[in-house]
Amino acid sequence: MRPLAEHAGGAGSAGQVPENVEYRVAHLRDRLAAEELGELGVRAEVRAGSIVVTGTVPSTQCRETLLRTVEEELAGLAVHTDVVVAETTSPDHAEDLP
């Protein structure tokens, strides 16, 4: 997997997690489940003083919506994203099997 976007907020130093970070991550998870992104296999976890958002989405538009939602919910926190767009185009050649 290749990171498509990565950004960091300015709150706290490395290793320090603000008190309400678990609440904000839980709220992000709830929002993702309730909105059009609900079917996506996206995870948000607190790791080593920052929030890591990982997963695969079906389109660039979905990824942009996801990143915008993450930014809204977790503004000011250190956030790292590793969200990839699934390749959904048809193959342009036959697969060679041995």
Instruction: List the domain range (segments joined by +) for residue 70.
Output: 6-85
1 lies in some domain: no
- Residue 54 confidence (pLDDT): 92
27 lies in some domain: yes
Average pLDDT estimate for 36-44: 75
93 lies in some domain: no
The DSSP call for residue 94 is: P
**Residue holding tokens 């590793």?**
82
CATH number, domain of 73, equals 3.30.1340.30
Average pLDDT estimate for 11-24: 64
Most confident among 7-11, 17-21, 45-49, 78-82 (mean pLDDT): 78-82
90 lies in some domain: no
For residue 5, give the nearest of 72, 73, 85 by alpha carbon: 85
76 lies in some domain: yes
> What digits encode the pLDDT tens for the residues 57-93?
888 888 999 999 999 999 999 999 999 888 777 767 7
64 lies in some domain: yes
For residues 78 and 49, is the Cβ–Cβ distance under 8 A?
A: yes
Phi, psi angles (nearest 5°) of residue 61: -60, -40
Looking at the structure of the chain, the number of domains it has is 1
